[in-house]
Amino acid sequence: MSKPSFNLTNRIFLDHPWLLAFFPFLRWTPLVNRNTIKSDLLAGLTGAFVALPQGVAFATIAGMPPEYGLYAGMVPAIIAALFGSSWHLVSGPTTAASIVLYSILVVHAEPGSAEYVNMALTLTFLVGVVQIIMGFARLGTLVNFISHSVVTGFTAGAAILIATKQVKNFFGLPVPRGVSFFQTWEMLFFNVDQVNMAIFGVSLFTLLLGVAVKVWFPRLPYMIVAMLGGSTVAVALQSFGIFVPTVGALPSSLPPLSIPHLDLNSIQEIASGVLAVTLLALTEAVSIARALGARSGQHVDGNQEFIGQGLSNIFGAFFSGYVATGSFNRSGVNYAAGAKTPIAAMFAGFLLLILVLLVAPLAAYLPNAAMAGILFMVAWGLIDFEEIISTLKNNRQEAVILVSTFVSTLFLSLEEAIILGVILSLGIYLLRTSRPNVRIRVPNPNNKYRKFTDADYSPQCPQLRFVRIEGSLYFGATSYIRDTLHEQDRIFPNQKHIAIIGDSINFMDKEGAHFLEEEAKKRRQEGSCLCFINIKDTIYEQFDEYGILKSIGGKNIFDSKGEAIAAIFPLLDKNICTKCQSRIFIECGK
């Protein structure tokens, strides 16, 4: 009976595809069976164990009470799995989102205070609302315009800030709140004699143990092993009368219900940071989802992912969860553990809740120093040295984006750093699209079919020039294309006839059409022609739409190079042809 029922449901959604935005889980529910449930349960259990130490660590970074990092990995993970599009993405608190949240709120309230928590929940709710609006507005492709170098540079800068903010707990050194990263390290350098050696010993032992487990025993959960090791050392020191401050027992309860403060004053205080958090969270989530989708062969719908992430944050704000987004660590573990459907992420959220009920009181034995050691390790792992070195060596424009974002992360507020990186990405994207390749091509006389090749390596016809435009003819590019063609005219003054190879032109706006119309009229007045070879149907339709088909002339649009040459060759000056040594056309030999 269940199969016909699903077929009926399928028919309903085929007739009303927009409903899939509200019920996207119906796309993958047919995949669920006994085998997938078994795989997903195992993957979810693994993910829950990973999320336990990470949640506490990320909450510490965000300036939130430790339990809120765990709450953010429960309900948001379940909602994002139900309403997103990725089969393997797991949502929850992340390093980047946590540190941005901290930088936005720390100027308004004391970290960990009730006011601070309320502001975090309000910001989370607003981020969710913006994400849903962007999803329904079909803005999922926007993240494609944010360079990966922005994320790389921001993450590297954030890693340094994470380590910087843990100097106090790692070395037991009193560092005032609000001190910059430079001042923090300066204080450490000039006050080494004030380092608490017991705290430093626990931190260093935790760090080294975590590194050792990660390198030599990669199958073990290195964070949990490191936490247990650091806690054991702290307990041992306590038996000698040396006290190391601890996180304190966490409440072993379900996520308490919470209500975001949506009064005008609360919204005004955090409004400037909402866009930055939204951009970062969506970039993280969609990038991770697409990376995993490429491995699994699954298509990820960016717009649906926006909606899923938005709903997860809205629900999270009412269940004591701060900003959640796609978690690279949890998602990677989920995929590697054999997850088959989004039910694995839902299991991870439910099982994390059960684990918290069981083990939360044990946090009373977890030293702050041990958490600092783990966060030092997290910070180091965030820096993608290979990607940074490759970018600096091979791509000057991307290097500018990376370095600018990295430096601004350290010296500006994090929301300003993100927005600066995004603006630079868009600026360089516009620069690239506004300067398309305008290459001179020639038929290769040494090839049987006279295939096109670069003019740098073969002779040209002195009267006819073939130009390949590799980009769109829009308002931002027409000036560059016009100047390039005129520069070519100056270098090759006898090449009166121009044939544009149009198979790489994907789009044309009204200004691009106006440019072509002017160019065609100008060359016709000079007794020459402007023709087009192998343009796409969409461009031909735009010729007609913008009313320039008559100006260009339908007879000047050709399906192939051979047709174009056959039509233009009789127009060439035969006096020049008799003296020409190039002989690049088949017609030249007749």
Highest mean pLDDT among 164-168, 250-254, 479-483: 479-483
What's the chain's average pLDDT? 83
**pLDDT tens digit sequence for 224-282:** 788 888 888 888 888 888 888 877 667 777 889 998 888 888 788 888 788 888 887 88
Residue 338 banded pLDDT, cuts 50, 70, 90? confident
Joined together, the tokens standing for residue 129 give 């609302």
The pLDDT score that the predictor gives to residue 91 is: 92
Residues 374, 53: contact at Cβ < 8 Å?
Answer: yes
Residue 4 banded pLDDT, cuts 50, 70, 90? very low
Work out the end-to-end distance of the chain between its first and last CA atoms, rounded to an integer number of angstroms. 76
SS3 content of the chain, % helix, strand, coil (to 5): 65, 5, 25
What whole-number percentage of the chain has pLDDT above 70? 91
Residue 189 banded pLDDT, cuts 50, 70, 90? confident
**pLDDT tens digit sequence for 497-529:** 889 988 888 888 889 889 888 888 888 888 888
| Rounded-to-integer distance, Cα 497 and Cα 508, Å | 22
The pLDDT score that the predictor gives to residue 133 is: 92
Q: Residue 141: pLDDT above 50? A: yes
**pLDDT tens digit sequence for 279-311:** 878 877 877 787 677 667 777 788 888 899 999
Mark 45-79 as b/e (b = at least 16 C-beta within 10 Å). Answer: bbbbbbbbbbbbbbbbbbbbbbbbbbbbbbbbbbb
Amino acid at 359: V
The pLDDT score that the predictor gives to residue 320 is: 92
Residue 2 banded pLDDT, cuts 50, 70, 90? very low
The pLDDT score that the predictor gives to residue 3 is: 41
Q: Residue 419: pLDDT above 80? A: no
Return the CA Rg of the chain.
31
**pLDDT tens digit sequence for 528-576:** 888 998 888 888 888 888 888 888 888 888 888 888 888 888 888 888 8
**pLDDT tens digit sequence for 344-368:** 999 999 998 888 888 777 777 778 8
- Higher pLDDT residue, 324 or 240? 324
Assess if CATH 3.30.750.24 describes domain 437-589: yes
Q: Mean per-residue pLDDT for 8-18?
A: 53
Q: Mean per-residue pLDDT for 197-221?
A: 88
**pLDDT tens digit sequence for 364-404:** 777 888 878 887 887 787 788 888 898 888 888 888 888 98
CATH 3.30.750.24, the chain: domain bounds: 437-589
Residues 131, 307: contact at Cβ < 8 Å?
Answer: yes
Residue 6 banded pLDDT, cuts 50, 70, 90? very low
Residue 218 banded pLDDT, cuts 50, 70, 90? confident
What whole-number percentage of the chain has pLDDT above 90? 12
Joined together, the tokens standing for residue 94 give 């992340």
Residues 507, 474: contact at Cβ < 8 Å?
Answer: yes
The pLDDT score that the predictor gives to residue 79 is: 94
Burial class (CB in 10 A: 0-12, 13-18, 19+), 539: buried
Residue 174 banded pLDDT, cuts 50, 70, 90? confident
The pLDDT score that the predictor gives to residue 10 is: 52
The pLDDT score that the predictor gives to residue 125 is: 95
Q: Residue 213: pLDDT above 60? A: yes
